[in-house]
Amino acid sequence: MEENIYNNTYSLLKLIREKKPLVHHITNYVTINDCANIVLAIGASPIMADAVEEVEEIVSLASALVINMGTLSKEHVEAMLVAGKKANELGIPVILDPVGVGATAFRKKGAEKIIKEVKLAVIRGNMSEIKSISGISVKSKGIDASERDIIQNDNLEYGKDISEELALKLNCVIAITGVVDIISGEGKTVFIDKGHKMLSTVTGTGCMCTSLIGAYCAVSRSYFEAAIAGILTMDLAGEKAYKNLKTIDEGSGSFKMKLMDSIFNFNHLLKNIILR
């Protein structure tokens, strides 16, 4: 299974770099620049357009649509719905990142409306966000997962049950990222135990991961495989970035820069793993 995951990811990465698909984002202003740069680093092309007057035209040119609820407004929700419905009409995959969905009633209502009216290919979130979408009561810690909701080896089965049930209910891929990642879809579930804790010290690594999933969805016939590829890319690049820190004086700023470099050079990193 692990060998297949690496090989599938490598094949999809080659397609991204050959086709350079356009990935349309309606995302948040905290991480918008990082998401655009991570899409460029993997080899795709980003466009960050959220004006309701133009999103139908923009998404018509794209190969994937990423919806990120990080800095939500009434206007954002309207644009997300318009773009999502147009993407559905054109057969373009829609990837939802329900940032902090359990934090406020406004976010929860917005997510419910999007999920009800737009057919989603992938939902990626932390455990608290996925539980909230599933209708399970959560004690939110802002936009972060609460301590008890962090997926680790001792609560994998609990996370797997929630992920699989929601994937079946919504007929889409559910990706829960944490210390251990859980991806459910197409009647299967995969766990990824990779990455590094330094990823949690940089704002927006979850958002960037969702953008990577969007890039892979743009070239894949299997959104399940695309979600795995996006998460594996972030995890392995995080490990590589940490290894490339040269002194104890290098912290989260250096890590972020090296993370972007690792994504840019991910074809070499992944090829070396496959050839071991």
- What pLDDT does 2 receive? 73
The reply to whether 84 sits in an annotated binding site is: no
pLDDT of residue 149: 54
Residue 117 CA to residue 21 CA, distance in Å, equals 25
Three-state DSSP at 254 gives helix
State the pTM of this model: 0.94
- Residue 3: per-residue pLDDT: 74
Give me the residues of the chain with pLDDT under 70, please.
1, 139-154
- Residue-wise pLDDT for 107-134, tens only, equals 999 999 999 999 999 999 999 999 999 9
Residues 74, 76, 79, 85, CA torsion sign: negative
48 is an annotated ligand-binding site residue = yes
Q: What is the CATH number of the domain that holds 7?
A: 3.40.1190.20
Cα dist. 146→72, 132, 235 in Å? 21, 12, 21
| 202 vs 132: CA distance, rounded Å | 24
What confidence score (pLDDT) does residue 119 get? Answer: 98
> pLDDT, tens digit, for every residue of 172-192?
999 999 999 999 999 999 999
Q: Are 116 and 88 in contact (CB under 8 A)?
A: no
- pLDDT attached to residue 274: 87
Q: Is 124 annotated as a binding residue?
A: yes
167 neighbors 174 (Cβ within 8 angstroms) = yes
From CA 42, how far away is CA 209, in angstroms rounded? Answer: 11
204 is in an annotated binding site: yes
How many angstroms separate the Cα of 128 from the Cα of each of 179, 184, 230? 13, 16, 20
Q: Tell me the two tokens of residue 98.
A: 């329900």
Note the pLDDT of residue 153: 65
Range of the domain at 194: 2-274
> CA dist 110 to 12, 43, 98, 201, Å?
32, 31, 9, 28
C-beta of residue 95 within 8 angstroms of C-beta of residue 210: yes
- What does the pLDDT read at residue 252? 94
User: Which amino acid would we find at residue 22?
Assistant: L
Q: How many domains does the chain have?
A: 1
